[in-house]
Structure 1
Amino acid sequence: MNDKWGIIATWRMAYEGVGQAVQSLKNKGSAGDGVELAVRLVEDFPFYKSVGYGGLPNEQCEVELDAAFMDGNTLAIGAVGGLMDYKNPVSIARKLSQERYNNFLVGAGAEKYAHHNGFERTNMLTTRAKKLWEKRVKAVQEKGLSPYDGHDTVGMIGLDLFGNMAAATSTSGLFMKKKGRIGDSPLSGSGFYVDSDIGGATATGLGEDIMKGCLSYEVVQLMSKGIHPQKAADQALFQLTEKLQRKYSKAGAMSVVCMNSEGEWGVATNVEFSFVVANHDLEPTIYIANPRNKMTEVELASEEWLNNYQKRIHQPV
């Protein structure tokens, strides 16, 4: 056992979950248990409209959920895609990671697996989410607005006192997506990757573009060469952004957070992005990141920003 531990997560919505995970990690809890607990808390909170209960629905007003879990010691992976009517897809994904085969299940197959393994079945569409869907349908019809919005994955990388690392992700995906659409979040190497010998990374943003560069894997590979997590994150993200602009003529919003096996961390983004981090030297802290000249600037979230965030997520529909 050593004296280093840590956890880093995408978006302000992860703050309360990270706080719970920190208590576990400080008390010799496992990285896997920590990230699963923290993600479950995000999944269960109905005002976070891009994850779990309260997540925004697809074009048919159905909530389809994607999630993944990875064990950094064994590289075991479990994932679900297009899951409907089951709570806490991250826990279903973790259960799948313990299987030798059939680690990634989608749609009816994922739901059958969840049922047979005793996971709770429930309607994941909230009244609030349905109202937001109805407003967007009307706006698309009357104003010609794009239907797509709200693709904020919660992703976490954890390191425990025994040197074990784990990753977890969860999302309801692109708002008003086509039925059956899967983004980067449950895809190993794109939405997440972790190796306890090196470190881990997890991404959020437009999955269709993140998948074009296997962003999380690229960050971990750079860290494997001894590159500091911050430099690795910046290098991987801005190289991918430039490549997409050159080859595909445009690049969507993308952000990535990472942590190495020493608990050092990094973040990169091509848009304004909030994230949460804690380790042996730092209590759970919310930061705001912004791109500046192919690098990422990080600052503490101000009281004004935090207050505006609370007002925004709770405002009436």
Structure 2
Amino acid sequence: MTYAMIGTWRMAYEGLSQGLNLLKSGGSSGDTVESAIKVVEDYPFFKSVGYGGLPNEDGLVELDSAFMNGDTFGVGAVMGIRDVKNPISVSRSLSKEHFNSVLVGDGATQYAVKNGFELKNMLTSRAKKIWEKRKREIAEKNLSPYDGHDTVGMISLDQEGSMSVGTSTSGLFMKKAGRTGDSALVGDGFYVDSDIGGAAATGLGEDIMKGCLCYEIVRLMGNGISPQDACDQALYPFLRKLKKHFGKIGEFSLVALNKSGQWGVATNVEFTFAMGNDHETAAVYIAYPDENDKTRINPITQDWMDAYEKRIKAPIN
């Protein structure tokens, strides 16, 4: 039976690799999405997700996450949750609730405490150093405070034909307290329907949420369009429209997977992602936009992987 996973950014690779092994042994799409994202949340050198995620302007780590079950349409999400080790697990738990399935701020944290989720100070010394350095740069060089906003998004198809999607992020670096982006908003940062497929987004949430692109991609796939064409058709015309009406656009990257295991990607920046299925082992690819509203995709080289590892672990001066 077919199984597959796709995830945003290079940081998805290790979790996705483990998820594929779980799918191969008959694991569910929900379990694989949750476990794969937990790997990302737990790794302190991924500075935009979970432990080690970069704080807001007050130096506090506020995390957003969401989970959606493609069989039931159950959605759970948290926004601005603090001191909880794995927000994706809280989101998945909330997706089983009919009421109160999306919680924000102290309410999200209280739910996690009451339901026995592991608590943890999510601000690492490394992330604090990066925050302190940025504060100095803002004061001394008049730089924009906003630098970094990558979300990990995972979509999974299991051998039973069930699909799930999940997201997790620390959001925009140096954001205002209480800010949220697209990652926890259904239809914007994620969407999945097991009868069709799923999509997940990463980039500047304030702009991504203007388009409901994940829902649009799933809608297009439901009309028989391939995941790649659906991504291209949803993203590139919208970018022109947003530029025309709003005057500027941030970064947009989207991944999609359909019920047959076919996948697609679209982006307006250099964008890495991880993918694997029942006949392709997990691998990292890099995507670029071209001038014809299409997306170019190439495999990542080992040299690129080595340079990435060195870069994310480099000392903070």
- Do Structure 1 and Structure 2 share a fold, with TM-score over 0.5? yes
Deviation at 1:175, TM superposition (A): 0.1
Unmatched tracts of structure 1, length 5 or more = none
Deviation at 1:169, TM superposition (A): 0.2
Tell me, in whole angstroms, the C-alpha distance in 2 between the residues paired with 1:279 and 1:235.
24
**Aligned residue in 1 for 2:309:** 310
Matched, 1:200 2:198: yes
**Aligned residue in 2 for 1:117:** 115
Tell me, in whole angstroms, the C-alpha distance in 2 between the residues paired with 1:205 and 1:190.
11
TM-score, length basis structure 2? 0.99
Helix, strand or coil at the partner of 1:193: strand
Aligned ranges for residues 147-186 of structure 1 at < 5 Å? 147-186=145-184
CA-to-partner distance for each residue in 1:117-156, whole Å, 9 max, x for gaps? 0011111000000000000000001001100011000001
Aligned ranges for residues 103-142 of structure 1 at < 5 Å? 103-142=101-140
Tell me, in whole angstroms, the C-alpha distance in 1 between the residues paired with 2:274 and 2:71.
24
CA-to-partner distance for each residue in 1:206-232, whole Å, 9 max, x for gaps? 000000001111110110000000000
One-letter code aligned to 2:120? T
**Aligned residue in 1 for 2:281:** 283
- Of 85, 93, 96 in structure 2, the residue corresponding to residue 95 of structure 1 is 93
Tell me, in whole angstroms, the C-alpha distance in 2 between the residues paired with 1:149 and 1:222.
33
**Aligned residue in 1 for 2:252:** 254
CA-to-partner distance for each residue in 1:182-216, whole Å, 9 max, x for gaps? 00000000000000000000000000000000111
Tell me, in whole angstroms, the C-alpha distance in 1 between the residues paired with 2:178 and 2:213.
23
Helix, strand or coil at the partner of 1:231: helix
**Aligned residue in 2 for 1:296:** 295
Moved more, 297-306 or 158-167: 297-306
Tell me, in whole angstroms, the C-alpha distance in 2 between the residues paired with 1:146 and 1:167.
32
One-letter code aligned to 1:299? N
Tell me, in whole angstroms, the C-alpha distance in 2 between the residues paired with 1:179 and 1:251.
23
Tell me, in whole angstroms, the C-alpha distance in 1 between the residues paired with 2:50 and 2:214.
22
Tell me, in whole angstroms, the C-alpha distance in 1 between the residues paired with 2:192 and 2:63.
22
Helix, strand or coil at the partner of 1:57: coil
Aligned ranges for residues 14-29 of structure 1 at < 5 Å? 14-29=12-27
Tell me, in whole angstroms, the C-alpha distance in 2 between the residues paired with 1:241 and 1:280.
34
Matched, 1:56 2:47: no
One-letter code aligned to 1:311? K
Tell me, in whole angstroms, the C-alpha distance in 1 between the residues paired with 2:89 and 2:207.
27
Tell me, in whole angstroms, the C-alpha distance in 1 between the residues paired with 2:238 and 2:86.
32
Tell me, in whole angstroms, the C-alpha distance in 1 between the residues paired with 2:132 and 2:189.
29
**Aligned residue in 1 for 2:29:** 31
CA-to-partner distance for each residue in 1:273-306, whole Å, 9 max, x for gaps? 0000011221101000001011110000012211
Deviation at 1:42, TM superposition (A): 0.2
Segments ≥4 residues shifted beyond 4 Å: none
Tell me, in whole angstroms, the C-alpha distance in 2 between the residues paired with 1:268 and 1:282.
21
Matched, 1:221 2:219: yes
Tell me, in whole angstroms, the C-alpha distance in 1 between the residues paired with 2:306 and 2:138.
30
Helix, strand or coil at the partner of 2:282: strand
Helix, strand or coil at the partner of 1:289: strand
CA-to-partner distance for each residue in 1:165-184, whole Å, 9 max, x for gaps? 00000000000000000000
Tell me, in whole angstroms, the C-alpha distance in 1 between the residues paired with 2:147 and 2:252.
14
Tell me, in whole angstroms, the C-alpha distance in 1 between the residues paired with 2:133 and 2:275.
35
One-letter code aligned to 1:71? N
One-letter code aligned to 1:298? I
Helix, strand or coil at the partner of 1:85: coil
One-letter code aligned to 1:98? K
Tell me, in whole angstroms, the C-alpha distance in 2 between the residues paired with 1:308 and 1:296.
24
Helix, strand or coil at the partner of 2:281: strand
Report percent identity of matched pairs: 59
One-letter code aligned to 1:305? W
Tell me, in whole angstroms, the C-alpha distance in 2 between the residues paired with 1:187 and 1:288.
26
**Aligned residue in 2 for 1:12:** 10
CA RMSD, Structure 1 to Structure 2 (Å):
0.5
One-letter code aligned to 1:92? V
One-letter code aligned to 2:301? S
One-letter code aligned to 1:268? A
Deviation at 1:23, TM superposition (A): 0.6
Tell me, in whole angstroms, the C-alpha distance in 1 between the residues paired with 2:44 and 2:280.
29
Helix, strand or coil at the partner of 1:282: coil
Matched, 1:241 2:216: no
Tell me, in whole angstroms, the C-alpha distance in 2 between the residues paired with 1:242 and 1:302.
32
